A and B are shown apart, each in its own frame.
Chain A
Amino acid sequence: MISDMKQFEKKIFALAISIFAIPMTVFAQGATSAINSGNTAWLTVATILVMLMTIPGLALFYGGLVRQKNVLSILMQCLMCTAVVSLMWIFFGYSFVFGKGLSGSTLGFFVGGFDKIFLHGVTISSVVSPAHVPEISFVLFQCMFAVITPALIIGAFAERIRFSGFLLFTILWSIFSYYPMAHFVWGGGWMQQLGVIDFAGGTVVHINAGISALIMALMLGRRRDYRPGKPIPGHSVPFVFIGAACLWLGWFGFNAGSGLTADGLDANAFLVTHVATCVAALTWMVIDWIVNRKPTTVGVCTGAVAGLVAITPASGSVGILGACAIGLTTGIVCFFMVAVVKTKLKYDDSLDAFGVHGIGGIIGSILTGVFASKTVTGGAEGALYGDWHQLGLQVVATLFTIAYSAIITFILFKIVDKLIGIRVAPREEEEGVDIYEHGESAYNY
């Protein structure tokens, strides 16, 4: 009896607390009503997911595709890319892209402004509208995009680049290629003003990195033991699988987080990202099965990544139909690029950063202009629905990105090669860059 009474008292007490607590919570929300907690929570999760794409996602994906003697160089490059590019982004990159200080001036064409350097003026009460999320969350979300973009290029020069050369190149490339491109497309630059659709970074991230990858592969030359048409298989297919799975998972944050809001548009981005990726993976498997008589694991992982790349710019503007079409096209074209064109042209894009990211990005960016649907975008429509204007814009943006990225990479390669040298010595390349550049080997017993 007594214990029952005690329990009853406890219940009353809990009830009383909850009654008092409710108005207090309401009051707490009222004090910071400018911030939408739902959007903020989702954006924070999305930021974590995008971080997961670089480390460990991309690191394992690329790490599995190189030989044992070079796997640590890939992990290190991805790790340091994360550290260095993040600091750069917070110290001045964010200001260069999203600052407003220089708008209207000539320099303002490339650079947003110097007004937010070291996050000056970005406080805990700064809010990004219309999503009503803290500006700090937005800085971090965008930071992860700045990190993964130069990390994608690693695939092109893997197994033969000096670590110091890589670091300098990555720093300069972020400043002169990523920041201006991000400013053009997201920071209020000319592409955004024209109405180019790039929901999550098809031009800024994938074409930009993919074209740079091609230029780097061409200028750096082939690996000494690479013969066109005779692939050098990676050392760990399970690594490739884990990496591809992390990329697939993280990409939901990449695409579905890019609207900054937790709403139907982001749910749709999630949906079409998944659909396009499944279709591209399936397409690659079917082609592999027909052409080479066997469905391969590395093939399906590659196909999935190609699908993820291609749907990126379109994820905020297409429906399931567009997602299927984009996935199918990418699967076919990327297979052709990687298996046939790369062999014919005899360049050594070690891990197909161009064949997958460059080509996938170009396909996605252009097809966005074909399959954009009014039911998703609320305004712009693609050529499939009779409006050719958007397709024209997408083609212009794509061509501009290709040209801009190629020129900048060419210049930066020359500078870095002159300053510190970018390729390792033949002996180091033969025995593996892990030992010579990092003094470690990946597998000890």
Chain B
Amino acid sequence: MKKIEAIIRKTKFEDVKEALLAADIEWFSYYDVRGEGKTRQARIFRGICYKTSCIERILINVVVRDKNVEKTIDAIQKAAYTGEIGDGRIFIIPVEDAIRIRTHERGNIALYNAEQEK
């Protein structure tokens, strides 16, 4: 069981979402995030120009079974790619356990809908 965190461009979110759904990833969470980086962007406020390194991205957070890790990474990487600096990162983190609140099921079974999988 792995957690996959991906920081992607806001403009690529729709593509990544579709790619993940196409790869049979049933659910994931995402957040608007801001980060600091080397890229500087000019902003103007009442005649004063100032630089900001604040970059806006979307963070996708998905926990998958070990057998699905590669295809998830593949889907994100293909869909989020532009080739320009700033495409983002993918992180893979081990997850100890998962519990489905409704049924008390633990482990891999908590991650997917077994009835639908059949």
Contact = CB atoms under 8 A, between A and B. Distances in A.
Interface in B28-70: 42-50
A296 B44 contact: yes
Interface in A270-313: 287-288, 291-294, 296, 298-299, 302
Interface stretch (A163-171, A227-235, A389-397): A227-235
B47 A233 contact: no
Contact of A291 (B43, B45, B47, B50): B47
Contacts of A299: 44, 46-47
B48 A343 contact: yes
A240 to B, nearest CB: 10
B60 to A, nearest CB: 23
A338 B50 contact: no
Contacts of B48: 229, 231, 338-339, 343
Q: Which one of A291, A292, A299, A302 has the highest number of Cβ atoms from chain B below 10 Å of its Cβ? A: A292
A416 B108 CA distance: 67
Nearest to B49: A292
Contacts of B49: 291-293
Interface in A196-242: 229-231, 233
A302 B46 contact: yes
A287 B45 CA distance: 13
Contact of A298 (B42, B45, B50): B45
Nearest to B51: A230
Contacts of A340: 47
A288 B44 CA distance: 9
A282 to B, nearest CB: 15
Interface size class of A (residues with CB under 8 A): 20 to 34
Contacts of A229: 48, 50
A299 B44 CA distance: 9
A339 B50 contact: no
A434 interface: no
A292 B46 contact: no
B57 to A, nearest CB: 20
B50 A230 contact: yes
A229 B50 CA distance: 8
Contacts of A233: 43, 45
B47 A288 contact: yes
Contact of B46 (A231, A293, A294): A231
Interface string A163-189: 000000000000000000000000000
A381 interface: no
A443 to B, nearest CB: 15
Interface string A341-364: 001000000001000000000000
A352 B46 contact: yes
A335 interface: yes
A250 B92 CA distance: 58
Contacts of B43: 233
B42, B43, B47, B48: most-surrounded residue (chain A CB, <10 A): B47
Interface in A33-80: none
A156 B45 CA distance: 17
A293 B42 CA distance: 10
A296 B45 CA distance: 8
Nearest to B47: A339
Contacts of B50: 229-231
Interface string B59-86: 0000000000000000000000000000
Contacts of A294: 42, 44
Given A231-B45, A299-B44, A299-B47, 6 more contacts: A233-B43, A287-B47, A288-B47, A291-B49, A293-B49, A302-B46
Interface of B: 42-50
Report, nearest first, the 5 A-B pairs whose CB atoms are least far apart.
A339-B47, A231-B45, A292-B49, A292-B44, A233-B45
18 contacts: A229-B50, A230-B50, A231-B46, A233-B43, A233-B45, A288-B47, A291-B49, A292-B42, A292-B44, A292-B49, A293-B42, A294-B42, A298-B45, A335-B47, A338-B47, A339-B47, A339-B48, A352-B46
Interface of A: 229-231, 233, 287-288, 291-294, 296, 298-299, 302, 335, 338-340, 343, 352
